Amino acid sequence: EAQVTQNPRYLITVTGKKLTVTCSQNMNHEYMSWYRQDPGLGLRQIYYSMNVEVTDKGDVPEGYKVSRKEKRNFPLILESPSPNQTSLYFCASSLSRRAGGYYEQYFGPGTRLTVT
Protein backbone atom coordinates (compact mmCIF):
# COMPACT_ATOMS: atom_id res chain seq x y z
CA GLU A 1 0.00 0.00 0.00
CA ALA A 2 1.30 3.42 -1.02
CA GLN A 3 1.70 5.50 2.11
CA VAL A 4 3.57 8.05 4.16
CA THR A 5 4.30 7.00 7.71
CA GLN A 6 5.26 9.18 10.64
CA ASN A 7 6.49 8.28 14.08
CA PRO A 8 5.65 8.90 16.77
CA ARG A 9 1.99 9.85 16.37
CA TYR A 10 1.88 11.56 19.74
CA LEU A 11 4.72 13.02 21.76
CA ILE A 12 4.85 15.01 24.98
CA THR A 13 8.25 16.38 25.86
CA VAL A 14 9.92 19.10 27.89
CA THR A 15 11.61 22.28 26.77
CA GLY A 16 15.14 21.75 25.49
CA LYS A 17 15.05 17.98 25.07
CA LYS A 18 16.11 17.12 21.52
CA LEU A 19 13.67 15.05 19.52
CA THR A 20 13.28 13.59 16.06
CA VAL A 21 10.08 12.85 14.19
CA THR A 22 10.60 10.30 11.46
CA CYS A 23 8.89 10.29 8.07
CA SER A 24 9.09 7.57 5.45
CA GLN A 25 7.39 7.07 2.09
CA ASN A 26 7.25 3.99 -0.13
CA MET A 27 6.21 5.66 -3.41
CA ASN A 28 9.72 6.56 -4.66
CA HIS A 29 8.80 10.24 -4.53
CA GLU A 30 11.54 12.80 -5.04
CA TYR A 31 9.82 15.62 -3.18
CA MET A 32 9.16 15.57 0.56
CA SER A 33 7.99 18.28 2.90
CA TRP A 34 7.19 19.05 6.53
CA TYR A 35 4.27 21.20 7.64
CA ARG A 36 2.90 22.35 10.93
CA GLN A 37 -0.80 22.95 11.44
CA ASP A 38 -2.11 25.41 13.97
CA PRO A 39 -5.72 26.60 14.48
CA GLY A 40 -6.62 29.48 12.20
CA LEU A 41 -3.29 29.36 10.37
CA GLY A 42 -3.77 26.38 8.10
CA LEU A 43 -0.74 24.37 7.06
CA ARG A 44 2.60 26.16 7.05
CA GLN A 45 5.62 24.68 5.36
CA ILE A 46 8.68 24.17 7.55
CA TYR A 47 11.20 22.59 5.17
CA TYR A 48 11.07 20.79 1.89
CA SER A 49 13.40 18.56 -0.08
CA MET A 50 13.44 18.21 -3.83
CA ASN A 51 15.65 15.13 -3.75
CA VAL A 52 18.38 13.38 -1.76
CA GLU A 53 20.77 15.88 -0.18
CA VAL A 54 18.68 18.82 -1.49
CA THR A 55 16.70 20.67 1.16
CA ASP A 56 15.40 24.21 1.51
CA LYS A 57 13.55 26.37 4.01
CA GLY A 58 9.83 26.80 3.88
CA ASP A 59 7.87 29.59 5.57
CA VAL A 60 8.59 28.73 9.23
CA PRO A 61 11.99 26.99 9.47
CA GLU A 62 13.23 28.54 12.73
CA GLY A 63 13.95 25.95 15.42
CA TYR A 64 13.85 22.99 13.04
CA LYS A 65 16.38 20.94 11.10
CA VAL A 66 15.95 18.29 8.44
CA SER A 67 18.10 15.86 6.52
CA ARG A 68 17.56 13.80 3.39
CA LYS A 69 20.20 11.10 3.22
CA GLU A 70 17.89 8.56 1.59
CA LYS A 71 15.09 9.10 -0.87
CA ARG A 72 12.43 7.46 1.29
CA ASN A 73 13.22 9.17 4.62
CA PHE A 74 12.93 12.79 5.71
CA PRO A 75 13.27 13.22 9.48
CA LEU A 76 12.37 16.44 11.28
CA ILE A 77 14.70 17.39 14.12
CA LEU A 78 13.98 19.78 16.96
CA GLU A 79 17.34 20.42 18.63
CA SER A 80 15.92 22.40 21.54
CA PRO A 81 12.13 22.32 21.51
CA SER A 82 10.17 25.21 22.97
CA PRO A 83 6.49 25.51 23.91
CA ASN A 84 5.74 27.55 20.76
CA GLN A 85 6.58 24.44 18.74
CA THR A 86 3.58 22.64 20.23
CA SER A 87 1.61 21.78 17.13
CA LEU A 88 0.34 19.11 14.76
CA TYR A 89 3.03 18.13 12.27
CA PHE A 90 2.53 16.55 8.86
CA CYS A 91 5.00 15.03 6.48
CA ALA A 92 4.10 14.88 2.80
CA SER A 93 5.61 13.52 -0.38
CA SER A 94 5.02 13.86 -4.10
CA LEU A 95 6.61 13.45 -7.48
CA SER A 96 8.77 16.39 -8.51
CA ARG A 97 6.94 18.96 -10.53
CA ARG A 98 7.91 19.26 -14.14
CA ALA A 99 7.82 22.67 -15.76
CA GLY A 100 4.21 23.73 -16.12
CA GLY A 101 3.03 20.63 -14.31
CA TYR A 102 1.53 20.01 -10.93
CA TYR A 103 1.63 17.30 -8.34
CA GLU A 104 -0.47 15.66 -5.67
CA GLN A 105 0.96 15.62 -2.19
CA TYR A 106 0.39 12.52 -0.09
CA PHE A 107 0.26 13.26 3.61
CA GLY A 108 1.17 11.19 6.60
CA PRO A 109 -1.26 10.75 9.51
CA GLY A 110 0.30 13.53 11.58
CA THR A 111 2.32 13.82 14.79
CA ARG A 112 0.83 15.73 17.66
CA LEU A 113 3.67 17.30 19.64
CA THR A 114 3.30 18.98 23.01
CA VAL A 115 6.27 20.81 24.52
CA THR A 116 5.89 21.76 28.19
Point out which residues bind other proteins (CB under 8 A): 4, 31, 33, 35, 40-45, 48, 50, 56, 59, 90, 92, 94, 96-97, 99-100, 102-105, 107-110
The conformational region for residue 30 under phi > 0 = left, psi -120 to 50 = alpha, else beta, is alpha
Nearer to other proteins, 9 or 17 (CB): 9
Q: How far is the CB of 17 from other proteins (least distance, A)?
A: 26
Nearer to other proteins, 14 or 54 (CB): 54
Q: How far is the CB of 70 from other proteins (least distance, A)?
A: 19
User: Dihedral, CA atoms, 54, 59, 63, 66, nearest 10 degrees?
Assistant: -20
Nearer to other proteins, 53 or 59 (CB): 59
What span, in angstroms and rounded, lies between the C-alpha atoms of 111 and 116?
A: 16
CA nearest to 86, candidates 10, 4, 8 = 10
Nearer to other proteins, 27 or 41 (CB): 41
What span, in angstroms and rounded, lies between the C-alpha atoms of 32 and 87?
A: 19
Q: How far is the CB of 79 from other proteins (least distance, A)?
A: 25
What span, in angstroms and rounded, lies between the C-alpha atoms of 35 and 92?
A: 8
